[in-house]
Amino acid sequence: MSQQDQLFNDSHVYVPLADRLRPQQLEDYVGQEHLLAPGKPLFQAIEAQKPFSMIFWGPPGTGKTTLARLIAHTSNAHFITISAVLAGVKDIRAAVEEAKQYQAQGKQTLLFVDEVHRFNKAQQDAFLPYVENGTVTFIGATTENPSFELNNALLSRARVFVLKDLSHSALRQLLKRAVQDKDKGLGALNLTVEDDSVEILIQAADGDGRRLLNILELASELALADNDQSPVIDNKILEETLTQSLRRFDKGGEHFYDQISALHKSVRGSDPNGALYWYCRMLDGGCDPLYVARRVVRMASEDIGNADPRGLTLALNAWDVQERLGSPEGELTIAQAIIYLACAPKSNAVYNAYNQARKDVGNEPTYEVPMHIRNAPTHLMKDLEYGKGYRYDHNEPDGFAAGQQYFPEEKQPVDYYQPVPRGLEKKIAEKMAWLQQRTNEALKRS
């Protein structure tokens, strides 16, 4: 029987490489040195064998589940795991009943909930009494921001630890172990990975240890098919394995909002190169270009505004092209709009003025519209003096009825719009100053 047959023999239950290599001892755990260095709270809790309730927040493949298992193992606790993707309140109750049996025997239970953010409020609340009375030590794992996805009551009873993407050195260490381990890894295959291919593997993993091992396992199968005596993973093998982009992009999740934030801030910071990079990252990860187009329209109003009104026109045109033509033509026009906005003069004067006016309208009484600027389409309204005293601007000198007021009588005029001394708004500011001077002179005469 060949080495390939021995490894992938159907008579045995197949266990993925990533699961076979799951460390059983804390010293074998790779990555997260910022949490597991001596003196850190999590390290001290594990060393003292006194785990407490906690939330692990981090990207996929960074060791959340493995760390929970190691904590249970080192503290000699009974380990129960449920997945919020599949479980409901019934499963939570069953886990609690199991924990009570071990509690009666004087043994601690560590309840691990994977993808805990998928539980609704009622399901999350179901844990609280048992976390509070010590029936279970709760560990939740999530790829989403706990501040947004988990109840405050649950957060207040658990400490949040942030796990990071695995570094290149950690991934390299994991890869070396997988290739050399003869018992659980691929060491029995006499497998070789060329140096250039090591770098490609690490890049393709994108900080995800599970992804690295899954790619390696697929590549090893192809290498064995070519030569089961001395299999070699080279660039050709990896080209066959990596048939699509494997970079992480969580549509609607934390990475999604991080990347659109990076794009928006790059535009605001007048960095067209950074903005273009993040735009391409989002497209590469599968983001809908129309979503980006909508956000670009927002940027045009929020961060450029009247400093260069052409930016809004260009953004709307790019959106329209994407809807009409799709990719790749539409994606190119969105890139054009992004670069233009990044290079344009910046102003948030319209954004600030709008927000302040909305705030005043929401906080103040519902003032009446002054009679002179009311509409008077009927004789009755004219008899009630709707529109009386209104001065039609086009009949006034310079097309401006100097001194005419437009705020409610009970409210002092507010200068919501404060143009910045950049781009077209510099000219707008000069025009507004001239109009204000005319108004002041008219009010003095009245």
Structural domain contains residue 106? yes
Cβ atoms within 10 Å of 277's Cβ, excluding its own: 14
pLDDT for 24-78, tens place per residue? 888 788 888 888 888 888 888 888 888 888 899 988 888 899 999 988 888 888 9
- What b-and-e string marks burial along 211-250, b requiring 16 or more CB atoms within 10 Å of the CB? bbbbbbbbbbeebbeeebeebebbeebbeebbeeebbbbb
**Low-confidence winner among 111-120, 335-344, 421-430 (lowest mean pLDDT):** 111-120
CATH of the domain at 325: 1.20.272.10
Which of 162, 193, 209 terminates a domain? The answer is: 162
Rounded to 5°, angle at Cα 384 from 380 and 388: 110
Structural domain contains residue 103? yes
Where does the pLDDT of residue 8 fall: very low under 50, low under 70, confident under 90, or very high at 90 and above?
A: very low
Which of 312, 343, 374 terminates a domain? The answer is: 343
Structural domain contains residue 420? yes
Residues 36 and 121 in one domain: yes
Residues 275 and 375 in one domain: no
Q: Do the Cβ atoms of 317 and 340 come closer than 8 Å?
A: no
Residues 45 and 142 in one domain: yes
Enclosing domain of residue 309? 254-343
pLDDT for 295-312, tens place per residue? 999 999 999 999 999 999
Which of 111, 131, 162 terminates a domain? The answer is: 162
Q: Residue written as tokens 């002054």?
A: 370
CATH of the domain at 96: 3.40.50.300
pLDDT at 338: 96
pLDDT for 307-345, tens place per residue? 999 999 999 999 999 999 988 889 999 999 999 999 999
Residues 275 and 394 in one domain: no
Q: Do the Cβ atoms of 301 and 351 come closer than 8 Å?
A: yes
Backbone angles phi, psi at 66, to 5 degrees: -60, -45
Structural domains of the chain, count: 4
Burial class (CB in 10 A: 0-12, 13-18, 19+), 342: buried
> How far does Cα 194 stand from its chain's mean position?
35
| pLDDT > 80? residue 5 | no
Its pTM stands at: 0.58
CATH of the domain at 394: 1.10.3710
pLDDT for 161-192, tens place per residue? 989 888 888 999 999 998 888 888 888 888 88
Backbone angles phi, psi at 403, to 5 degrees: 90, -10
Structural domain contains residue 350? no
Q: Residue written as tokens 């940027």?
A: 299
* Structure-block tokens of residue 39: 């003196």
Burial class (CB in 10 A: 0-12, 13-18, 19+), 110: buried
